[in-house]
């Protein structure tokens, strides 16, 4: 287990742990006695403001040997990464399968609209809810490919809690702010990350079961070898049309060295990227899935966003995995902008 800081001290379940405000972000793994045995308890701490105050944490117990730390969005949401749907059974259907309502409650649809008439111009990209006010997506979804600037908020709206894009009960929300990484490179896809702020924060309780935030990863967290899920309304075939129903697939995360070998003649794969896919192809993201999540979890834990769908060769082509922005490399960037507002 790799964490920002470790404290070795014993404590009981239900006990609170207080940390001084000068610490920005910490994760703790502590032994907790449970009857005749002891398990590891993982704690995540995040200070929202640099003041002389203390934040409290409620410990959560996990089995010994867990390899992830639960680091939540701002402010701390204890239920991030929780889905009302059971993910115990997966059907490996080529090209993915439709999802059910509430299965991926943090998935949003980023849609373009005419800023003058307000008329919707259709599905453009995916994104994830990391906070009731904030969407995490890809910069290339926001930046105009010709003029190289980010389209302002009046051009965008966000749909949340939806499975079918043709559903009459649309949960459509206006946007108040767009932030793209200032070093986004549309040639190499480096820093392909953006934040979209909703005009008003969502009431998660009002949409309970259908809308929730996803958890963010801990720094230096590794997902290698895990089979993670990708979701989106993109094309179900390389030369086909976008899907009306949200689709999901499961793909294994690979090492960057393996991914770099696959793309050595195509494009550099940097440390800020993470790759996932089957060697034989047949399952992977396609046009229209950009900005959506590569989401992972272990042993029934919360879902954590490992990556943001970014680029690749073709759609689920053999020997070419999907390439995603590695979210753990951009935690400081994310927190900095969320704290500013």
Element spanning 122, H or E: strand 120-131
339: its two tokens: 């704290």
Asked about 36 being catalytic, the answer comes back as no
How far apart CA 159 and CA 144 sit, in angstroms, is: 21
Q: Residues with Cβ < 8 Å from 181, sequence gap 6 or more?
A: 139, 191, 192, 193, 194, 330, 333
Q: How many other C-beta atoms can be found within 10 angstroms of the C-beta atom of residue 108?
A: 29
Contact, 162 vs 171, CB < 8 A? yes
User: Among the options 46, 124, 140, 181, which is catalytic?
Assistant: 140
Asked about 192 being catalytic, the answer comes back as yes
How do the residues of the chain divide into helix, strand and coil, expressed in percent and rounded to 5? 10, 35, 55
CA nearest neighbour of 217 among 274, 160, 256, 261: 274
User: Among the options 124, 131, 190, 192, which is catalytic?
Assistant: 192
How far apart CA 137 and CA 141 sit, in angstroms, is: 7
Asked about 186 being catalytic, the answer comes back as no
How far apart CA 24 and CA 295 sit, in angstroms, is: 25
Write the CA distances from 243 to 185, 236, 238, integer angstroms. 28, 6, 12
Residues written for the chain: 341
User: Among the options 72, 290, 310, 328, which is catalytic?
Assistant: 290
DSSP 26: E
1: its two tokens: 């287990």
Contact, 262 vs 320, CB < 8 A? yes
Which residue numbers are catalytic? 140, 192, 290
């Amino acid at each position: 287990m790799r964490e920002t800081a470790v404290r070795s001290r014993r404590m009981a379940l239900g006990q609170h742990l207080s940390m001084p405000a000068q610490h920005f972000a910490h994760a703790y793994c502590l032994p907790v006695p449970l009857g005749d045995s002891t398990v590891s308890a993982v704690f995540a701490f995040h200070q929202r403001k640099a003041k002389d105050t203390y934040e409290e944490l409620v410990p959560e117990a996990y089995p010994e040997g867990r390899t992830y730390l639960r680091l939540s969005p701002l402010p701390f949401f204890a239920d991030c990464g929780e889905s009302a749907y059971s993910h115990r059974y997966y059907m490996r259907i080529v090209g993915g399968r439709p999802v059910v309502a509430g299965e991926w409650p943090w998935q949003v649809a980023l849609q373009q609209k005419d800023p003058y008439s307000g008329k919707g111009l259709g599905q453009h990209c995916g994104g994830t809810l990391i906070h009731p006010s904030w969407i995490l997506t890809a910069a290339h979804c926001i930046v105009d490919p010709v003029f190289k600037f980010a389209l302002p908020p009046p051009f965008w709206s966000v749909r949340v809690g939806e499975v079918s894009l043709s559903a009459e009960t649309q949960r459509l929300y206006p946007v108040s702010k767009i932030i793209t990484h200032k070093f986004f490179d549309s040639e190499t896809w480096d820093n392909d990350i953006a934040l979209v702020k909703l005009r008003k924060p969502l009431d998660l309780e009002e949409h309970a079961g259908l809308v929730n935030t996803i958890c963010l990863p801990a720094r230096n967290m590794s997902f290698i070898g895990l089979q993670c899920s990708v979701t989106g309304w993109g094309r179900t075939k390389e030369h086909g049309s976008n899907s009306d129903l949200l689709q999901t697939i499961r793909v294994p995360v690979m090492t960057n060295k393996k991914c770099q070998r696959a793309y050595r003649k195509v494009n550099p794969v940097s440390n800020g990227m993470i790759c996932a896919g089957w060697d034989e192809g047949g399952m992977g993201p396609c046009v229209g899935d950009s900005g959506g999540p590569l989401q992972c979890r272990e042993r029934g834990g919360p879902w954590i966003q490992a990556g943001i769908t970014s680029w690749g060769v073709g759609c689920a082509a053999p020997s070419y995995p999907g390439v995603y922005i590695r979210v753990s490399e951009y935690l400081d960037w994310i927190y900095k902008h969320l704290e500013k507002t």
